[in-house]
Amino acid sequence: MKVLLGVCGGIAAYKAGELTRELRRRGATVQVIMTAGAEHFVTPLTFAALSSNQVMTSLWQPVNSDVASGEPGAFDIEHIRVAQDADVLVLAPATANFIARLAHGFADDLLSAICLAAKIPIVVAPAMNVNMWLHPATQANIETLRQRGVQIVGPGSGDLACGMVGDGRLAEPTEIADHVLAAAQRTSDMANETILITAGGTREPIDAVRFIGNRSSGKMGFALAEAAMARGAKVILIHAATTAAPPAGCEHIHVTTAAQMERAVLEQLPRASMVIMAAAVSDYQVVSPHAQKLKKTTALTLELTQTPDILRQAAQQRRAGTLMVGFAAETEHPVEEGRRKLREKGIDVIVANDVSQPGQGFDSDQNAGTIISAHDERMLPLSSKRVMAESIMDYLRTTSLRLNPR
């Protein structure tokens, strides 16, 4: 396993030496990147000796000698290559300044550029004076990072180098190493899964220009697709109308109506080891949509019929071992409704959420809910859809292992 260890300029920088040793003891190779501030506290030579590796300190390193060979492809953009090659990135100690720069997407030194280019999990272990840690700006920046899926370890409480007592001590190297290893593990723990995910809202035509639709943005389904891909899964994403941009890196199938979504889901079903229906599928469709735009009249009556229940059908037609997951967006009694739908649709897991609550669910960046299966129920607290997607994936992985022990 390859770990990138970013060391920032704080007095706790010397403890990153112990973390380097701990990570190596556990079998990792460690590439240390130091900020200019860190070099005031510890020398690159210390980390070179402890990691048995060159330490990287500058965005402006000399061009590698292979380029002189004229070989095509010999030129590497160092910070991009480093970000792509590793399994996990840990910042220890992370200073208030670096946390602020990370939260705002700065890329004006090597470590911040690597953080921005990295698609791997990031673990942040803050260390600073208690007042700097408790400052609303730092707390807001930490919350921004957390909502993006960055893992925060510590800080611990105790005597600080500044003479004060309180929160701000770097977490113990063994605790940081535990988190780093667990985060790296998650990058491939779904490598055997092919996950079919639906997202967005279907549109049922009324006439040539009008439709019955809903407020789904597609954000929950897209967050699930991103979380699944980050854990090594192959993702087939079937999306209807969305307001958010779909993630890259997966197979995309565009549909408009419930009937098209039904066809696409049933066609792809044999390939899937897991199906997650996060789409808001219209419950009704117009019996005979008009080919031309309807003229305005004082009253209009539409005849509607029910759309097929895609999830129920897919659950009936699935091959043994395929995990079926639904969503239940409710405005009343979400958990009771979730339990009923779990039974009636014959599925394994349902995520019930209350869409009457402001700031969560439809069209929001945040969500909360309850994950329900025949075995247990678990609260998913209000968080970004990406963080919630990660918790759902944790749950589904263990449920999938129970169904298909490997």
Closer of 56 and 342 to ligand C5P (Cβ) = 342
Stretch that binds ligand C5P, among 12-20, 22-30, 76-84, 321-329 (CB under 6 A): 321-329
Q: Where are the beta strands (DSSP E) in 255-365?
A: 274-277, 284-286, 304-306, 323-330, 349-354
Binding to ligand C5P by residue 342, rule CB under 6 A?
Answer: no
162 tagged catalytic: yes
Site string for ligand C5P, 229-268 (x = CB under 6 A): -----------------------------x----------
Beta-carbon contacts of 182 under 8 Å, excluding residues fewer than 6 positions away, are none
Beta-carbon contacts of 106 under 8 Å, excluding residues fewer than 6 positions away, are 112, 116
Give me the least distance between CB of 396 and ligand C5P, in Å please: 14
What is d(CA 260, CA 263) in angstroms, rounded to the nearest whole number?
5
Site string for ligand C5P, 198-227 (x = CB under 6 A): ------------------------------
Residue 322 host element (H or E): none
Binding to ligand C5P by residue 89, rule CB under 6 A?
Answer: no
Applying CB under 6 A, among 277, 323, 372, 389 the residue interacting with ligand C5P is 277
Binding to ligand C5P by residue 309, rule CB under 6 A?
Answer: yes
Binding to ligand C5P by residue 373, rule CB under 6 A?
Answer: no
> What residues are paired with 75 via a beta bridge?
none
Binding to ligand C5P by residue 307, rule CB under 6 A?
Answer: yes
Give me the least distance between CB of 346 and ligand C5P, in Å please: 12
Binding to ligand C5P by residue 88, rule CB under 6 A?
Answer: no
Q: What angle do CA 27, 33, 34 make, to 5 degrees?
A: 130
Q: Parallel, antiparallel, or unpaired for β 323-330 and 349-354?
A: parallel
Please give the full DSSP string across 133-169, using - where no structure is assigned.
Answer: HHSHHHHHHHHHHHHTT-EE---EEEE-TTS-EEEEE
Applying CB under 6 A, among 7, 110, 310, 371 the residue interacting with ligand C5P is 310
DSSP reduced 3-state for 82: helix
Applying CB under 6 A, among 41, 133, 222, 327 the residue interacting with ligand C5P is 327
Closer of 92 and 212 to ligand C5P (Cβ) = 212
Site string for ligand C5P, 278-297 (x = CB under 6 A): -x-x-x--------------
Binding to ligand C5P by residue 196, rule CB under 6 A?
Answer: no
Binding to ligand C5P by residue 272, rule CB under 6 A?
Answer: no
Q: List C-alpha distances in Å: 201 to 112, 257, 268, 358, 362.
A: 38, 9, 19, 19, 10
DSSP reduced 3-state for 370: strand
Residues 117-176 that bind ligand C5P (CB under 6 A): none
What is d(CA 267, CA 404) in angstroms, rounded to the nearest whole number?
23
Give me the least distance between CB of 281 and ligand C5P, in Å please: 4
Q: Could you give the count of Cα atoms lying within 13 Å of 78 in the half-sphere of its Cβ?
A: 18
Closer of 14 and 284 to ligand C5P (Cβ) = 284
The catalytic residue positions are 162
The footprint of ligand C5P (CB under 6 A) covers: 258, 277, 279, 281, 283, 307-311, 326-328, 341
